[in-house]
Structure 1
Amino acid sequence: MPQLDVDGATLTYDDEGPRDGEPTPLVLVHGWTANRHRWDHQMTHFADARRVIRLDLRGHGESTGGGVRTIAELARDVLALLDHLKVQRAVLVGHSMGGMIAQTIALDHPERVERLVLVNSIGRMAYSRGRGLLMAASTLVPFKLFVAANIQRAFAPGHPREEIRAHVRASADTPREVVMTLYNAMRAFDVLDRAGEIQVPTLMIHGYHDIQLPVRQMLRMAKAYPDAVVRIIDAGHELPVERPAELTTALDRFLTAA
């Protein structure tokens, strides 16, 4: 289980697959309160033929550290890991907050990105008045209830309750300071007006039942991308664990497209 020390954090990561430089390495970035194991299905599938890298973001999973206040700071951690591994160019795949990190890297360091995959992610947080009031009120409840409320509503109706409870427990293990500061970082994230600057082929894959980051917000972003493919799947916000095989298939097709 390799680790890297970066600016007061110890990042735990996996680096598997061939190192001959072809095809371009795949880098998997998880979302808020999650960990690198969100990508188990994709790691197993792709690492036979391609180098695949995934990490626990600082303060998540088996990584330590906090103090981060912005999505850009998390992006710098990912770039530090890629520099350490001597990966100059990658296919970035980000789920939710991980997609925000991937967009930040694509905008600020376009030379490092060959293709971009955004899973249940958007370029600007936008709340209706009612949902904004609900989300603001949720921060006033005890921490574990705040986490549970946000994770439970991330899954599509009918998802097995025991699986949801397991994800709630794992998310609640993320330190409170990390959870709350990154919650605010996501609320502040806004690169929608710069979306047209991202010139690389991009796959936007979204759960139809996502009420955390609704499909219409992703479609608003897709209109601004010059080279985007959109795929909608019958899932909620947690597509990597709700429909892992379908996500892998969509990603595989995108990576092998001319």
Structure 2
Amino acid sequence: MWRERVVPAETEIFVAWREWPGERTVLAIHGGPDWDHSYLRDPLDRVACRLLMPDLRGCGRSGRVPEYHPDGVVEDLVRVLDAFEVERADVLGHSYGGMVAQRFAITHPSRVRSLVVAGSSVLPVPPDAFAGWAGRDEVLARQEDPWQRRDLSPEECVRAEAFAAAEANVRRPAAMPGYLRRLEEVRFGAEWVRQLPALVSPRLPDAARRIAGLGIPVLLLHGRLDMTFPAALVEPTLELIPRARAVVLEEAGHMLHVDEPEGFLRALREFLEGAAFHDGLELGRPRPV
């Protein structure tokens, strides 16, 4: 059963959370950033451990602040773990949240048991990363740009952009109707986009080397058809992080948990079970249905 809690911080942070037997906690960090956590709930809600899913500052039901910086987000996440009395968590981040997760691990290594970078990248994306991918060019050429319209508010533009990008983000046609219904439930905002172009990237310099130095288990979970963060960056990242492993879902795009939910869930479960084994803990067993 999902519960809700507001954690006091520099700004109030809304957290959807689910309890589970055992000592394991997954902290899931959403992307956008002007989205909320809800688009990640399924299939994460089938992971057999405690799950914390905050809305980042300025997003969803969390509070607003005058300025937005990834260091403030990281400190919010520390306060979330403190509020739930979690010493160390398995940290998963998707898309923008994947870069926040890396920053969190690098700056607060004592709070991170393992790291999952999903639909994101550790290495910077080069300008020519997608050169020669004609299918991607065709999809993006069909994508409408709501920011060219003057009749929409910034919040409406963020929402419209998410729907316009659906074809690029979800590659399996059978998954599209469910994804569009999922987007209908997202509380879109525009606090972060209003700060452009002054926003600071959450990606820290030399992140791969610094993550490798932490010595924690790392999972790179990616869609082969991701049109935002190229799957081609997975292999060079593995060469730089010896303890990392990777699972690339062949039929998935940027929203890999939507395109291939069972493959996503299987990869995550196997990784967490392996990390738990090396850490001397047990995951909570699934409850009978």
Structure 2 length-normalised TM: 0.74
Contact 1:155–1:237 (CA under 8 A) maintained in structure 2: yes
The SS at the match of 1:153 is helix
Q: How has the CA–CA distance of structure 1 residues 189 and 52 changed in structure 2, closer, same or farther, with 3 Å as cutoff?
A: closer
2:16 is aligned, of 13, 32, 35, to 13
Q: 1:253 aligns with which of 262, 270, 278?
A: 270
**Aligned in 2, Cα 1:170/1:15: closer, same or farther, shift over 3 Å?**
closer
- Judge conservation of contact 2:64–2:191 (CA < 8 Å) in 1: no
Q: Sort the Cα spacing of 1:149 and 1:223 in 2 relative to 1 into closer, same or farther, 3 A.
A: farther
What RMSD in Å do the two structures reach over aligned CA positions?
3.1
| Alignment equivalent of 1:197, drawn from 203, 210, 213 | 210
Distance 2:202 2:47 in 1: 32
Larger radius of gyration: 2
Query: Which residue number corresponds to residue 90 of structure 1?
Result: 89
Counterparts of 2:198 and 2:161, CA distance in 1: 14
Find the aligned partners of 2:50 and 2:13 in 1 and give their Cα distance. Answer: 22
Amino acid paired to 2:231: V
User: CA offset at residue 129 of structure 1?
Assistant: 6.1
Alignment partners' CA distance in 1, 2:235 and 2:185:
30
Q: Is the 8 A contact 1:26 1:52 kept in 2?
A: yes
Per-residue CA distance 1:90-128 (angstroms, 9 max, x = gap): 111111122111111110111111111111111244253
Q: State the percentage of identical aligned residues.
A: 24
1:216 counterpart residue number: 232
TM-score (norm 1): 0.81
Q: Relative to structure 2, which stretch is displaced further, 228-237 or 147-156? A: 147-156
* Aligned 1:91-170 pairs, distance under 5 A: 91-128=90-127, 140-142=147-149, 143=157, 144-170=159-185
Corresponding residue SS for 2:246: strand
Cα distance change of structure 1 residues 161 and 151 upon mapping to structure 2, 3 Å threshold = closer
Q: Which runs of 5+ in 1 are unaligned?
A: none
3-state secondary structure, aligned to 2:45:
helix
Aligned residue pairs, count: 248
C-alpha distance in 2 between matches for 1:63 and 1:152: 29
Deviations 1:25-50 (A, max 9, x none): 2222222124245133222331xxx3
CA distance in 2, matches of 1:167, 1:182: 27
Q: Structure 1 residues 127, 97: closer, same or farther in 2, change over 3 A?
A: same
Q: Give the CA deviation at 1:217.
A: 2.6
Q: Which runs of 5+ in 2 are unaligned?
A: 132-139, 150-156, 278-289
